[in-house]
Amino acid sequence: MQIYTVGQVTTYARDLLDSNERLSDLWIKGEISNLYRSQAGHLYFTIKDAEGQLKCVLFKSEKPALTLENGMAVIVHGRLSIYELRGDLQVYVDLVQPEGVGVLHLAFEQLKNKLEKEGLFDKARKRPLPSFPKRIGVVTSPTSAAYRDIENIISRRYPLTTVILAPTLVQGDEAAPGIVRAIGELSDMEGIDLIIVARGGGSLEDLWAFNEEVVARTIYASRIPIISGVGHETDFTIADYVADMRAPTPSAAAEIAVPDRSELKKRIQFLRHAIESATTEGLEQRHDKLQYAFGKIKAPDLSRHRQRIDDIFRTTSRQAAGAITLMRSQLNSYSSQLSSLNPLGTLRRGYAIIQKAPAGKIITRTNDVRTGDRIVMQLSDGHIKGKVTGNNSDGQQGTLI
Amino acid sequence: MGNKEPSFEELLKQLENIATNLDTGGLPLVESLALFEEGMKLSKKCSELLDLAELKVEKLQDLFEQKE
């Protein structure tokens, strides 16, 4: 016989419960009673039905979506274990849903809860989307309105890109594996820089593939950033939470994926103007500088030259005055020489000019006249008339008068 | 054509850089005029790319279609 300590027994019982798979993943339906919030913020309550009751604890970290009240009919999810200090059997609750909610909804909440705890939804791990994607993979049904919308919007906004359609079913049992395969194929391709996973609106059942764990994990593991655009604005899927960006609809996903060409054209126009005005301004500044520099150069240089010009002018005018005086005295001496050549002066010294009368031809040789010609003799103060009485050229002694 | 052709994104980036450089100022005259000319060319090229582009669509094999 072996004797155990209390602790050994409670620990053994706890380990037994914890290792049981079914007891670790329980959905339990019942009514809340004895609700109590501890100072630390944890919630303690009992769920019961006609046949029995179970103690429950909901730790503050679980953040229930529902505000619990006594008497509320709920379905809780959690694991059954033992609180060793008290030896109490209790349910460690991680999820509380109102009773009457469908199984899919419960599964959704549970998976969401689980993946959130694993960090699949962490904001910090969301990757930035490319501003100008070159090749966009689109995972959706090729015949759907969702795909047509996406293609139209990308074509209108930013036709510089290439769309690679990775066709898949988006509803039914084959949808989830199809989506996983399509994302995988796009990931294996070269140069794809963005993936859109999309599906049009539908019921929770219709959209179910996007709530499957395998799809969520594939999106999480994708090396290429993913935008989800599933259902309508009000539909949230697990894929939306894991994706790098959640778009409310397929069309919105396309709008988020690419820039708008009319915005880009405005940007280009703006840059063009900025370049033009910056260049013009630069030229004007240079022009102003040049003018300023010119203004500075002129003043001192000219004054220096002016002084030099003054000097030169003074020197030359002095030289010119000397030259003029010299020339004037030379002129005087020339004019006195000239007056000595005047024939009147010669006549004054006793010479006469003889002219034939009445023609006035000046006689310089004896042959110019014959005996009997009348002549006029010009003297310094008048003239004397006479007659030739003889001529050497006649062999006669010439006689005057 | 081919991959050597700079992408729209690269051209726009160059255009942004030129605008920033000219706006900062302090460039030699010859250089700033060369940038101006380059900027005008780039903005024209960017606008043309946006105006003339047509969306290309490729389709991967549809496994479900093949089954039918």
Q: Among A218, A167, A220, A224, which Cα is nearest to A191's?
A: A224
* A145 SS3 class: helix
Torsion of CA A232, A238, A243, A249, to 10 degrees: 0
Strand A43-49, strand A52-58: pairing: antiparallel
Fold exhibited by the domain A6-101 = OB fold (Dihydrolipoamide Acetyltransferase, E2P) (2.40.50)
A77: left (phi over 0), alpha (psi -120 to 50) or beta: beta
Dump pLDDT digits (tens) for A373-394. Answer: 888 887 778 888 888 887 766 5
CB pair distance less than 8 Å for B15 and A282: no
Q: Give the domain ranges of chain A.
A: 6-101, 130-257, 261-341, 346-400
Per residue in A251-305, pLDDT (tens digit) is 999 999 999 999 999 999 999 999 988 888 888 888 888 878 777 765 555 666 7
Looking up tokens 């769309």 gives A163
ipTM of model:
0.87
Check the CA dihedral A303-A305-A308-A310 and report its sign: negative
Q: Which residues pair with A166 in a beta bridge?
A: A139
A376 bridge partner residues = A355, A385
pLDDT the model gives residue A138: 97
Distance (Å, rounded) from C-alpha A82 to C-alpha A259? Answer: 57
pLDDT computed for residue A310 by the predictor: 78
- Chain-chain contact of A279 with B36 (C-beta, under 8 angstroms): yes
> In the prediction, which pLDDT does B68 show?
41
Task: Give yes or no for a contact between A168 and A138, defined as CB atoms under 8 angstroms apart.
Answer: no
Q: What is the CATH number of domain A130-257?
A: 3.40.50.10550
pLDDT band at A197 (very low <50, low <70, confident <90, very high): very high
CA distance, residue A193 to nearest chain B CA (Å): 14
Nearest to A261 among B40, B50, B60 (CB): B50
Using a 10 angstrom Cβ sphere, with 0-12 exposed, 13-18 middle and 19 or more buried, the burial of residue A35 is: middle
Model pLDDT for residues B1-60, shown as the tens digit of each residue: 445 688 999 999 999 999 999 888 788 888 888 899 999 999 999 999 999 999 999 999
Please list every residue in chain B whose beta carbon sits closer than 8 Å to the beta carbon of residue A265.
47, 50
- Answer whether A276 sits within 8 Å of B36, measured CB to CB: yes
Residue appearing with tokens 């690679």? A164
- Nearest-CA residue of chain B relative to A159? B55
Chain A positions touching B25 (Cβ under 8 A) are: 278, 282
Alpha-carbon distance values, A336 to A35, A324, A331 (Å): 155, 19, 9
Which residue in the set A165, A271, A275 is minimally distant from B60, CB to CB?
A165
Q: What is the mean pLDDT of residues A129-148?
A: 95
Residue range B13-30, pLDDT digits in tens: 999 999 999 888 788 888
Binary contact (B53, A132; C-beta < 8 A): no
DSSP letter (8 states) at residue A392:
G
| A147: chain B residues, CB-CB within 8 Å | none
Max distance between CA atoms of chain B, in angstroms, equals: 70
Q: Say how many CA atoms lie within 13 Å of A294 toward its Cβ.
A: 6
Q: Contact, A274 vs B19, CB < 8 A? A: yes
- Both tokens assigned to A291: 């003018």
pTM: 0.63
